[in-house]
């Protein structure tokens, strides 16, 4: 996730790509969520489930809020880009990292779901849902970059980034609404 985030954000800055910045920042948010999950599970192991539930609730709300903020940024950035008639440059590193993310996220999501079922962990199941959302996000990035390479239309990045908004809001809602009892 760290490599994915660094490559996506660096590529996004170089190409001025809203889609890649959303992809990279989402990776940072997922990475923070994973660290919160590890911290939360370690608290549960040391102090019991009651001690970990407030941390879980807070971490989920922070992740959800950050995803909503990212969705708002994407909407504003895409609208400004469309209004100004400015597009992004194509990015080979961005395409490569998004292509590599697809099988990695699929494998990671499957393993997290299996472990969540074995442990009965709602928090780990929610984290697996984030990996699935990242898989879909990767697919959108690949489609957008492939269309940009094929057609070279200046508006493709803005339109693709708006397709990502739905995923960000869905992921944000899931993070916000996840309850330990699920």
3 state SS of 17: coil
Question: Comparing C-alpha atoms, which of 29, 95, 93, 39 is closest to residue 67?
Answer: 29
| pLDDT on residue 85 | 92
Mean pLDDT by 10 residues, the chain (182 residues): 92 93 89 82 80 75 85 93 91 96 94 87 76 88 93 92 88 74 45
- Tokens 């442990």 locate to 119
pTM: 0.83
Burial of 92 (0-12, 13-18, 19+ CB in 10 A): exposed
Lookup: tokens for 2: 């760290």
Q: What is the dihedral of CA 77, 78, 82, 86, to 10 degrees?
A: 60
């Amino acid at each position: 996730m760290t490599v994915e985030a660094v490559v996506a954000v660096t590529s996004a800055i170089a190409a001025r790509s809203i889609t890649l910045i959303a992809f990279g920042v989402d990776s940072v948010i997922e990475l923070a969520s994973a660290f919160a999950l590890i911290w939360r599970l370690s608290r549960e192991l040391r102090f019991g489930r009651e001690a970990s539930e407030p941390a879980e609730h807070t971490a989920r709300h922070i992740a959800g809020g950050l995803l909503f903020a990212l969705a708002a940024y994407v909407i504003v950035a895409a609208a400004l880009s469309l209004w100004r008639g400015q597009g992004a440059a194509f990015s080979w590193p961005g395409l490569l990292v998004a292509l590599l993310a697809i099988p990695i996220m699929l494998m990671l999501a499957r393993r997290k779901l299996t472990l969540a079922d074995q442990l009965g962990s709602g928090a780990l199941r929610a984290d697996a849902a984030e990996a699935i959302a990242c898989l879909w996000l990767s697919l959108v990035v690949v489609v957008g970059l492939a269309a940009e390479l094929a057609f070279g239309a200046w508006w493709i990045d803005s339109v693709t980034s708006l397709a990502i908004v739905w995923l960000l809001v869905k992921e944000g809602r899931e993070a916000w609404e996840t309850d330990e009892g699920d």
